[in-house]
Amino acid sequence: MRPVKQPDNVAYARAARMHLSKNDPVMAQIIARVGPVKITPRPERFQALARAIIFQQLAGAAATAIYNRFVALYSNDGFPKPQQVIATPIEKLRSAGLSEKKAIYIRDLAGHIRDGTLNFHRFPQMTDDEIIEDLTRVKGIGRWTAEMFLMFNLGRPDVMPAGDLGVQNAIKKAYRMRERPKRKRLMKLAERWRPYRSAAAWYLWQSMRTVLPTASEQARPRNDARAAKSKNKTQGNG
């Protein structure tokens, strides 16, 4: 019996597989082993970014508990609206387990959305770099978080998270490098993957069985400065 062929999850997946396989023999081997792209763009906007802030520098179980307590502050209304968060005193946000900084960051994010300085409706007309610049003006949101948002929430096909340790380690292993590639070398290598660098990054993560963002966990920020420093201490990565 032939194995059932699994469907792709994003519109650009088939074209990405063909392009990556044609232009990079190493990537072709990874694709043959991993199979179809399983990036599923998610509709969350404020929720995804607030979740990312909550999960920064925390283990999954602890972050999930705090996230659930944060949502529970707003009774059974589901995830709160920005206006509700703004109206919530810092002390009440901290009662859910948020640090003072994270409570301030989430309030700052909500304020940007309320004031229109962060307008998700403009994003379809904006480039990836413009969106990254827009998002990183918000306290607590670094480039890595913005890149994950582009890939997993906006479905952008050509994002290359060069500061991601998982991507760096996967490239080092797959391309038999002595050390993890620095940004300049990585971006040069990634030129062959354009315009489907998001799919290339996903395949690199899969080659190392890296845990990716899910609907219940916005993942661990790998390239925001504080997070990278934390991971360096625990994993010995420079």
Interval 138-193: pLDDT, tens: 999 999 999 999 999 999 999 999 999 999 999 999 999 999 999 999 999 999 99
Res 216 pLDDT > 60? no
For the stretch 61-90, what's the b/e string if a residue is b when 16 or more beta carbons lie within 10 angstroms of its beta carbon? eebbebbeebbeeeeeeebbebeebbebee
46-152 shares the fold of 13-41+160-230: no
Return the pLDDT at 210.
Answer: 53
Distance in angstroms (rounded) separating the CA atoms of residues 125 and 153: 15
Res 232 pLDDT > 60? no
Domain 46-152: CATH class, spelled out: mainly alpha
For the stretch 139-176, what's the b/e string if a residue is b when 16 or more beta carbons lie within 10 angstroms of its beta carbon? bbbbbbbbbbbbbbbbbbbbbbbbbbbbbbbbbbebee
Q: Where are the alpha helices (DSSP H) in the chain?
A: 13-23, 25-34, 46-55, 60-72, 82-86, 90-94, 100-115, 128-135, 143-152, 165-174, 183-190, 197-207, 225-235
Return the pLDDT at 8.
Answer: 57
Res 237 pLDDT > 90? no
Res 231 pLDDT > 90? no
More confident residue, 235 or 129: 129
Return the pLDDT at 9.
Answer: 67
Q: Please, what is the average pLDDT of the chain?
A: 86
More confident residue, 225 or 78: 78
Interval 103-119: pLDDT, tens: 999 999 999 999 999 99
How many CA within 13 A on the CB side of residue 226?
11
CATH fold of the domain at 13-41+160-230: Endonuclease Iii, domain 2 (1.10.1670)
**Residue 164 bears catalytic tag:** yes
Specify the length of the chain in residues.
238
pTM check: above 0.85: no
Q: Of 24, 108, 134, 164, which is the active-site residue?
A: 164
* Count of C-beta atoms within a 10 Å radius of residue 178: 5
* Count of C-beta atoms within a 10 Å radius of residue 18: 12
Return the pLDDT at 1.
Answer: 40
pLDDT band at 222; cut points 50, 70, 90: very low
Domain boundaries, the chain: 13-41+160-230, 46-152
Interval 49-63: pLDDT, tens: 999 999 988 878 999
Return the pLDDT at 218.
Answer: 38
Output the CA–CA distances (angstroms, integers) from residue 164 to 56, 87, 193, 227, in the order listed: 14, 35, 17, 11
